[in-house]
Structure 1
Amino acid sequence: MQVTINGIDTRYVLSNESGGPWLTFIHQLAGDLSVWDQQAGYFRNDFTVLRYDLRGHGQTAVSPDSFSIEQLSDDLAELLHKLGAPRTHVVGLSIGGMVAQQFAADHADLVDTLTVVGAPAYIREEARPTFTQRAASVRENGTASIVDATLERWLTAEFRQRHPEVVEQIAETIMRTPSEGFARAAEAIRSFDVRQKLVSVVKPTLVVAGKHDAGTPNAESQMIADAVPGALFETLDAAHLSPIEASTQFTALLGTFLRSSV
Structure 2
Amino acid sequence: MQVTINGIDTRYVLSNEGGGPWLTFIHQLAGDLSVWDQQAGYFRDKYTVLRYDLRGHGETALSPEAFSIEQLSDDLAELLHKLGAPSTHVVGLSIGGMVAQQFAADHAALVDTLTVVGAPAFTPEEARPTFAQRAASVRENGTASIVEGTLERWLTADFRRRHPEVVEPVSETIMRTPSEGFARAAEAVCNFDVRNKLALVAKPTLVVAGKHDTGTPYAASKLIADAVPGARFETLDAAHLSPIESSTQFTALLETFLRSSV
TM-score normalised to structure 1 length: 1.00
2-structure distance, mates of 1:213, 1:230 = 24
Match of 1:16 in 2: 16
User: Is 2:250 aligned against 1:250?
Assistant: yes
Provide structure 2 residue ranges, at least 5 long, that are not aligned to the other structure.
Answer: none
CA distance, structure 2, for counterparts of residue 151 and residue 211 of structure 1: 16
> 2:94 matched to 1:100?
no
Q: Structure 2: which amino acid aligns with 1:169?
A: P
Aligned to 2:172: 172
SS state of the match for residue 3, structure 2? strand
Deviation, structure 1 residue 203: 0.0
Q: Which residue of 2 aligns with 1:233?
A: 233
Structure 1 vs Structure 2: percent identity of aligned residues? 86
Number of aligned positions between the proteins = 262
2:154 maps to what in 1? 154
- Counterparts of 1:11 and 1:218 in 2: how far apart (Å)? 32
Aligned to 1:68: 68
Write out aligned runs for 1:39-118 (5 A). Answer: 39-118=39-118
**Could you say which residue in structure 2 is the equivalent of 1:136?**
136
Deviation at 1:152, TM superposition (A): 0.1
**In 2, Cα distance between equivalents of 1:131 and 1:18:** 40
Q: Which amino acid in the other structure matches residue 250 of structure 1? A: F
How big is the alpha-carbon RMSD for the aligned residues of Structure 1 and Structure 2? 0.3
For the residues of structure 2 that align with 1:63 and 1:56, how far apart are their CA atoms? 7
**Distance of 1:57 and 1:50 partners within structure 2:** 16
Deviation at 1:228, TM superposition (A): 0.1
Give me the whole-angstrom Cα distance separating, in 2, the residues matched to 1:162 and 1:168: 12
Residue in 1 that maps onto 2:6: 6
Paired with 1:2 and 1:238, the residues of 2 have a C-alpha distance of 33
**Equivalent-residue separation in structure 1 for 2:128 and 2:106 (angstroms):** 23
Which consecutive aligned stretches of 4+ in structure 1 deviate over 2 angstroms post-superposition? none
Deviations 1:105-129 (A, max 9, x none): 0000000000000000000000000
How far apart in 2 are the matches of 1:42 and 1:18?
Answer: 11
